[in-house]
Amino acid sequence: MNIQNKTILVTGAGSGIGKELVLALLEKGAIVAAADIHNIALAELKQQIGEESKDISIHVVDISDKTAIEDMAKSVITEHGHIDGVINCAGIIQPFIKINDLGYDAINKVMNINFFGTLYMAKTFLPYLLKRPEAHIVNISSMGGFLPVPGQGIYGASKAAVKLMTEALYAELIDTNVRVSVVFPGATQTNITKNSGVKVPKMPAGNTKNQNIKMTSASDAAKTIIIGIEKNKFQIFIGSDSKFMNLLYKISPKFATGFIAKQMKSLLPK
């Protein structure tokens, strides 16, 4: 899809990959509807954009609230007249603990935001997208959506649900004007842990394996996603770790699972 002059909605727009997507889209000549649950972050984003702020609208919304999303959709259409693309970037992670120790409140929160929020967004905006000459839906899954990560089992389950739902949506819309992409970020430099209210476990002294993990910047991640949109890619992998683990998991799921389990062992409580 040609991004210039297109109206694109981005969730999770107040920080991380979402924020970088907004900036990159504006630079390419798009009009952006920026959505986030954090109104201060959105206000700071608009202030940062400055002169280009005429090309952006701000929408404070909790994506786990279906009614709030439906109200936002009406607001976006009222302000912009139409919508050409939706990038579902908002999401949270879970505390770094095993499934057996994770409370149901935390489980429900992760599923409601990551999966149901993405589903609500897709279903709410799809009727508008189908009216456009060309349109695009992008859903952010995760490397954890195709590879089990101990200590992030429910987060991974939510992102696996996003993966399969998005791929089914791609198949259902294959003969329409709406293209669909699913994104699998690996280790990326964002503040998702802070926004999720989760503390990162301290690594044991002398453990250098996880300290040396190469992380992709949020800016580079956003650029990769936009290239994927422009090329109408079905799957978009972000970071060498995501690409490598995707290949390894296809070759030997058991070996790949064991490999990740060893990497995460030192971060999990006994």
Residues forming the active site: 155
Residue 268 has a pLDDT of 77
Q: In this model, does residue 219 exceed pLDDT 70? A: yes
Nearest to 10 by CA among 61, 53, 49: 61
Fold of the domain built from segment(s) 7-202+210-265: Rossmann fold (3.40.50)
More confident residue, 50 or 193: 50
Q: Which residue has the tokens 């649950």?
A: 37
Residue 203 has a pLDDT of 47
User: What percent of the chain has pLDDT above 70?
Assistant: 90
Residue 54: which pLDDT band, with cuts at 50, 70 and 90?
Answer: confident
What residues does each domain of the chain span? Answer: 7-202+210-265
Nearest to 118 by CA among 174, 66, 153: 66
pLDDT, averaged across the chain:
92
Using a 10 angstrom Cβ sphere, with 0-12 exposed, 13-18 middle and 19 or more buried, the burial of residue 21 is buried
Mean pLDDT of 38-54: 90
Residue 198 has a pLDDT of 60
pTM of the predicted protein model: 0.91
Nearest to 184 by CA among 136, 206, 154, 216: 216
Mean pLDDT of 59-69: 98
Q: In this model, does residue 262 exceed pLDDT 70? A: yes
